[in-house]
Chains A and B, each alone.
Chain A
Amino acid sequence: QEQLQESGPGLVKPSETLSLTCTVSGGSISSYYWSWIRQPPGKGLEWIGFIYYSGSTSTNYNPSLKSQVTISIDTSKNQFSLNLSSVTAADTAVYYCARGSTMTWLRYWGQGTLVTVSS
């Protein structure tokens, strides 16, 4: 069964860039939809965006975050990454990576990683 694992700094300063990586094991990163989702403490889920790779790459982002977000993929390492720029305290959340066979549902999830934005 496929496993996903998020990694990256747990603390980021305001105005800096939050960078996370999701490592996929037990399967290929090609031909699936890979998403990032976040959950502020005590609040609900928010979809950040997805990336799809099958020879070429396509992405789409939550319109409310589009100016801040970049998602990229490294097929040689079976990883995909999230960059969120100009962060504020409102970006403090548990960040999850997830996979779907289509972009309409998320079948496999990582365990999540807490990122705190604070000086």
Chain B
Amino acid sequence: QSALTQPASVSGSPGQSITISCTGTSSDVGGYDYVSWYQQYPGKAPKLMIYDVNRRPSGVSNRFSGSKSGNTASLIISGLQAEDEADYYCSSYTSSSTLVFGGGTKLTVL
């Protein structure tokens, strides 16, 4: 299975909104509403931010939201804050009943 495609980096200023894309195929992202997003700080374990495309686990800020169109999913962070600076990974369920991750996106808050 091939990794999902994410931009290597995105950046934004405090208060702005940013979008991170995650592109797959009809065998993963496009075929199921099972895209999730993870936030990872250096040296720390990933944290689930979004699951099932647009659902937030309890305790995750409503500044984080998700969407999907065709084979591309997106993570949207509104009201950008300094603490949002981290790596973000998307993941999707696949037609082989496996999980596949994206290559990761480094978010820089300017």
Contact = CB atoms under 8 A, between A and B. Distances in A.
A15 interface: no
Contacts of B104: 44-45
A76 B101 CA distance: 32
B61 interface: no
A48 to B, nearest CB: 10
Contact of A44 (B3, B36, B51, B98): B3
A95 B46 CA distance: 12
Chain A, interface residues (CB within 8 Å), range:
20 to 34
Contacts, number: 65
A108 to B, nearest CB: 8
A60 interface: yes
Interface in A33-63: 35, 37, 44-47, 49-50, 60-63
A105 B48 contact: yes
Interface in B81-110: 89, 91, 93, 96-104
A43 B36 CA distance: 19
A44 B6 CA distance: 11
A50 B97 CA distance: 10
Given A44-B104, A63-B96, A105 B91 contact: yes
A109 interface: yes
Interface of B: 1, 3, 32, 34, 36, 38, 44-48, 51-52, 57, 89, 91, 93, 96-104
Given A47-B98, A50-B99, A105-B48, 6 more contacts: A44-B3, A44-B102, A63-B1, A64-B1, A105-B34, A109-B46
27 contacts: A35-B99, A45-B38, A45-B91, A45-B101, A47-B91, A47-B98, A47-B99, A47-B100, A60-B96, A60-B98, A62-B1, A63-B1, A63-B98, A64-B1, A96-B46, A103-B93, A103-B99, A104-B34, A105-B34, A105-B51, A106-B38, A106-B46, A106-B91, A107-B57, A109-B46, A110-B45, A111-B45
